[in-house]
Homo-oligomer: A and B are copies of this chain.
Amino acid sequence: MSNQQEKPVILADQVQTILTDLEPLSRKVFLSLTPPSSLDNRADVDQLRQNLERVFQPVRVPLSLMAKIPSLCRSSDWKVTATLAETGRGWDLIDLESGDSTGSHYGLAVDIGTTTVVAYLINLVDGTVLGHAADYNDQISLGEDILSRIRQAMEPGGLIRLQTLVINTLNRLIKQLCASSLKSGQITAAAIGANTTMIHLLLGLDPTSICRAPYTPIVNSPGLISAGELGLEINPLAPVYCLPSIGSYLGGDVIGGILVSGMHNKSDVSLFVDIGTNGEIVMGNQEWLVACAGAAGPALEGGVTAFGMRAEPGAVDHVSIDRKSGQVTYTTIGNMPARGICGSGLVDTLAELFLNGIIDRTARFTQGREKYIVVPASETAMGENIVVTQIDVNNFMATKGAVNSAIDLLMENVGCHWQEISHFYAAGAFGQYLPIESAITIGLYPDLPRPAIVRLGNSSGEAARQVLISRTKRMEAETIAAKVTYFELNANPSFMEKFVSSKFLPHTDLDRYPSVKKRLESRV
């Protein structure tokens, strides 16, 4: 699969925090045991456990490992490496290897998106990323979006089919990651960031209640589950930790985003936004966290614009229009002949159209135009013009309006002003590939001092990495989940009001966008 993923797979450097004092979900300990004698005739399993319990308390040795302990100890001259898994209330022995293998210690950090699944192979010795692999979620074959998946899960056998599909996807990625360099059984822990529905389908839990009042999931904090129970092809006793969710619409991916941003530890107020097909917005600081979520529309995912497409080869990803000549220049992913426009290309196009007065502040084409040719037919793969129409612009404005209204409503309700926002965290694709200046120009990002705008990349994957390698981060994630107050947008009558009035470029209140205002003025 191409590196040019719509969903970013690379963990942004600025957020790939280096954690000291690693406390990964699984630990390795090298032990030099005592061969039994008439002076020390403890049973092998008991001696092993007693040695481990000098550091880890208490340790359970599962029956499935007991049988192999005596022969392994003897064949390795009583020098063995034990792998222990955290259980949240003590430790389980999950593997025993000959000699000192503490230098080879692997974990898996996973981001399960509705569309894309990304897996990172983590070196649990130092917490670094050894490699990543990404692929579409096989569940796509049964429906593109969350609602259609939930509908599929209601069909007879549907739930198991969906579970099998995502497990297959994961196992394929695990195979890729291990390739020839290690056996998948050497992966002894995994952490997963995903929305609530994806977690339910992964666990084989009926997601129906997620989309039916009162919208309560079956579980928000599944706790630790063994890989074997799920069918994940790593060490079957490996603990799998799912980032906790807060409810049907705020999943572990969002908790992960908050965790990675660090906004929950700051005294100043931050804003976290992730916009895909669904949008999630979180605001708060170390004392409080308020969140809302809702459908954002697929405008940024290439779903509805006439020539919208995913960020794949041939997608127009950057566009600029020369102020004087009106000449369009663009680039495509992979330098292939243009086939359509992806999210970043659309944001660029709209910003350029607006800055050049081709669409006005109400987002309507001026001078009687009905569309704009981004790529002429002669340069496209299909031999027809790639255009942006008024309908495309309107669709985008609906998304942007929904996001702006939600943020405004949230701020109004907590009594917070834009001046107080210290950081704006943009997560996911929304926070990775969108051109910053263009996104500000059309009001998708706020017009804050540029260093205050932080793009988190695949924060769900990065959060999975962090909770995989750090007990402190796991506890922080649980604390965040317990702390976030969910703010119900749909129940709020003023949402529609704000929604209608926010359909301006970049915003109804131009003073909130001083840099854009300046550019517009310089244009005249």
Contacts and interface: CB of A to CB of B under 8 A. Distances in A.
Interface in A167-225: 203-206, 209, 213-225
A182 to B, nearest CB: 27
A1 interface: no
Nearest to A223: B60
A214 B67 contact: no
A64 B225 CA distance: 10
A66 interface: yes
Interface in A332-386: none
Contacts of A412: none
Given A61-B223, A89-B90, A218 B41 contact: no
B219 A41 contact: no
Contacts of A58: 88-89
Contact of A66 (B60, B63, B66, B205): B205
B89 A44 contact: no
Given A46-B220, A218-B44, A204 B36 contact: no
A37 interface: yes
B214 A41 contact: yes
A501 B362 CA distance: 114
A2 interface: no
A58 B88 CA distance: 9
A229 interface: yes
A41 B215 contact: yes
Interface string A39-80: 001111110010000000010110110110110000000000
A91 to B, nearest CB: 9
A204 B68 CA distance: 11
A230 B66 CA distance: 13
Contacts of A247: 41, 43
B45 A219 contact: yes
Contacts of A209: 44, 70
A213 B38 CA distance: 8
Nearest to A215: B41
A209 B66 CA distance: 14
A75 to B, nearest CB: 14
A216 B63 contact: no
A41 B206 CA distance: 17
B43 A219 contact: yes
Nearest to A159: B67
A60 B88 contact: yes
A63 B222 contact: yes
Contact of A46 (B37, B43, B219): B219
A44 to B, nearest CB: 6
Contacts of A203: 63, 66
B88 A225 contact: no
Interface in A464-516: 488, 491
Given A90-B89, A209-B70, A63 B225 contact: yes
B89 A216 contact: no
Given A38-B214, A67-B204, A43 B220 contact: yes
A216 B224 CA distance: 34
A104 to B, nearest CB: 27
Given A43-B220, A64-B229, A222-B66, A36 B88 contact: no
Contacts of A87: 60, 89
A46 B493 CA distance: 31
Q: Which of A58, A70, A204, A230 has the most CB of B within 10 A?
A: A70
Nearest to A217: B43
B215 A67 contact: no
Given A61-B223, A203-B63, A229-B63, A218 B89 contact: no
Given A43-B216, A70-B218, 13 more contacts: A38-B488, A38-B491, A41-B247, A42-B220, A43-B217, A43-B220, A45-B219, A58-B89, A63-B204, A66-B203, A66-B218, A69-B218, A89-B90
A-B pairs, 5 with minimum CB distance: A45-B219, A89-B90, A36-B216, A43-B220, A43-B217
Interface of A: 36-38, 41-46, 49, 58, 60-61, 63-64, 66-67, 69-70, 87-90, 203-206, 209, 213-225, 229-230, 247, 488, 491
12 contacts: A43-B218, A43-B221, A44-B216, A44-B218, A45-B218, A45-B219, A60-B88, A66-B203, A67-B205, A70-B218, A87-B89, A88-B90
